């Protein structure tokens, strides 16, 4: 079966007074129907920008090249009509901060109704009933009462549930979740993750979950893509990535986490590269303890080594399971 969402050589560049920021530098990604893909990376790795560009949500100054297709429909460079027929209907997105994504002066129910009527033909009455159903589906108590309230009357976790309700209102094929639980407390995060997984299995929606939290990835993802400096550096099934990470960056991320019995944490030295002038060859090279001269001209293309695909040219000799 062909993937529902595909990107080929997706690149995003932002012109700034200081120079061109190469935020995304050639991302090739396939998302299958109904799967949960975890996108991991640090701030500035291009993980959010990649998906904002696919959703057509970047400012017009951003230069986007390459290809992104949803079920065969090209999205990069598509006209407004095409984008509108896809965005919010076949593909939708939720964000870290639900308060800024909701209109403070409209009732929650009306905002969901607006979302439904933008893409479906039905009466306002039917749409209102559907809105209450959706709020019930995401586990909001007293959905009929809640639908008549305003965003400020909701807690952070409740607002995120509302965002999920809106995002799935038109039963999209792909739901992109950009750090939706980062601002929430862990007990609320657990609830939201459960809601997302419930929705996913009911609607068979593919979920792209962007996060820097490896614990969340371990809980929900089927497959993981690790991003660094605007590129994918590792791709694997979730169990394989945690069992034998193939890229030194992935290993570094895992070693920097506090764990029982770990007396001392191992940070990754240095800082993420300046994306106006990223390092030649492997972008992780300046921070990598395994880097050799060869890495200066190494292509960052994914090669299968053992059970993972990694962009490290030394993966084979370093031993993936090390």
Partner 1 sequence: MTTPVLSVENLVKEFYVKTTAGLRSARQTVYAVSGVSFAVEEGQTFGLVGESGSGKTTVGRCVLRLLEPTSGNIAFKGQNITSLTQVELRPLRRQMQIVFQDPYASLDPRLTVGTSIAEPLVVHKVPGDHAEKVASLLELVGLSPDHSRRFPHEFSGGQRQRVGVARALALNPSLLILDEPVSALDVSIQAGVVNLLQDIQKELGLSYVFIAHDLSVVRHISDVIGVMYLGKLVEVGPAESVYTNPRHPYTTALLSAVPEPNPVIERGRQRIVLTGEVPSPIDPPSGCRFRTRCPRAEERCAVEEPLLSSAGGTHQVACHFPNEVPVTLGGAGH
* Cβ-contact 268, 289 below 8 angstroms: no
| Residue 321 found at the interface with partner 1 (CB under 8 A) | no
Phi, psi (deg, nearest 5) at residue 3? -65, 150
Per CB under 8 A, which of residues 62..81 are in contact with partner 1?
Answer: none
Reduce the DSSP state of residue 56 to 3 states and report it.
coil
List the one residue from 239, 292, 301, 316 that touches partner 1 (CB under 8 A).
239
Among 190, 197, 203, 303, binds partner 1 (CB under 8 A): 190
**Short-list 270, 283, 271, CA closest to 230:** 283
133 contacts: CB under 8 Å, gap ≥ 6: 143
Contact between 117 and partner 1 by CB under 8 A: the answer reads no
> What residues from 126 to 155 belong to the interface with partner 1 (CB under 8 A)?
155
- C-alpha torsion angle, residues 152, 154, 156, 160 (rounded to 10): -110
Which listed residue (242, 286, 303, 306) binds partner 1 by CB under 8 A?
242
The residue from 17, 264, 293, 299 that contacts partner 1 (CB under 8 A) is 264
- With 0-12 CB in 10 A as exposed, 13-18 as middle and 19+ as buried, what is 113? buried
Among 252, 298, 308, 309, binds partner 1 (CB under 8 A): 252
Query: In angstroms, what is the minimal distance from the CB of 243 to partner 1?
Result: 8
- Is the alpha carbon torsion for 117, 6, 197, 179 positive or negative? negative
Phi, psi of 176 (to 5 degrees): -100, 120
Among 133, 153, 194, 294, binds partner 1 (CB under 8 A): 194
Contact call for residue 260 and partner 1 (CB under 8 A): yes
In the complex, the residues that contact partner 1 under the rule CB under 8 A are: 42-43, 155, 157-158, 185-191, 193-194, 212-219, 221, 238-239, 242, 252-260, 262, 264-269, 271-272
């Amino acid at each position: 079966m062909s993937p529902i969402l595909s990107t080929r050589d997706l690149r995003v560049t932002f012109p700034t007074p200081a120079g061109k920021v190469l935020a995304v530098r050639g991302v090739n990604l396939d998302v299958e129907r109904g799967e949960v893909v975890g996108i991991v990376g640090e701030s500035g790795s291009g993980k959010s920008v990649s998906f904002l560009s696919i959703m057509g949500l970047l400012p017009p100054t951003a230069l986007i090249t390459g290809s992104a297709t949803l079920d065969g429909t090209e999205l990069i460079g598509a006209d407004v009509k095409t984008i509108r027929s896809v965005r919010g209907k076949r593909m939708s997105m939720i964000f870290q901060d639900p308060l800024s994504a909701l209109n403070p002066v409209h009732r929650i129910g009306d905002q969901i109704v607006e979302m439904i009527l933008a893409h479906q033909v039905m009466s306002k009455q039917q749409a209102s009933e559907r809105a209450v159903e959706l709020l019930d589906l995401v586990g909001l108590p007293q959905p009929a009462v809640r639908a008549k309230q305003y965003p400020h009357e909701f807690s952070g976790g409740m607002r995120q549930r509302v965002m999920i309700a809106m995002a799935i209102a038109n039963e999209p094929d792909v739901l992109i979740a950009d750090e939706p639980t980062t601002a929430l407390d862990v007990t609320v995060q657990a609830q939201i993750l459960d809601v997302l997984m419930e929705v996913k299995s009911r609607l068979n929606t593919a979920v792209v979950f962007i996060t820097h939290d490896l614990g969340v990835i371990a809980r929900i993802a089927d497959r993981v893509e690790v991003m660094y400096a605007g590129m994918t550096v590792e791709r694997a099934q979730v169990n394989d990535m945690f069992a034998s990470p193939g890229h030194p960056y992935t290993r570094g991320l895992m070693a920097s986490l506090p764990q029982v019995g770990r007396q001392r944490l191992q940070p990754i030295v240095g800082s993420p590269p300046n994306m106006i002038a990223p390092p030649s060859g492997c972008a992780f090279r300046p921070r990598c303890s395994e880097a050799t001269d060869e890495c200066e001209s190494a292509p960052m293309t994914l090669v299968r080594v053992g059970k993972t695909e990694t962009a490290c040219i030394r993966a084979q000799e370093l031993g993936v399971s090390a």
